[in-house]
Amino acid sequence: MLSFLRSAKLGYFLRFVAKKTSNYAGFFYYKSYV
């Protein structure tokens, strides 16, 4: 149960980081494109 909770929290954290990273990547791509 504890390991499941930890993996779920880790999955949420990874998803959060991935969203932030994609936002920053899109922003920098836009800045370099314009």
Report the number of distinct structural domains present in the chain.
Answer: 1
Residue 1 has pLDDT above 70, yes or no: no
User: The domain containing residue 4 runs over which residues?
Assistant: 1-34
**3-class secondary-structure state, position 1:** coil
Query: What is the SS3 string spanning the chain?
Result: CHHHHHHHHHHHHHHHHHHHHHHHHHHHHHHHHC
What pLDDT, in 10s, does the model give residues 4-30? Answer: 888 889 889 989 999 999 988 888 888
Structure tokens at 8: 């779920």
Q: Which residues contact 32 (CB under 8 A, 6 or more apart)?
A: none
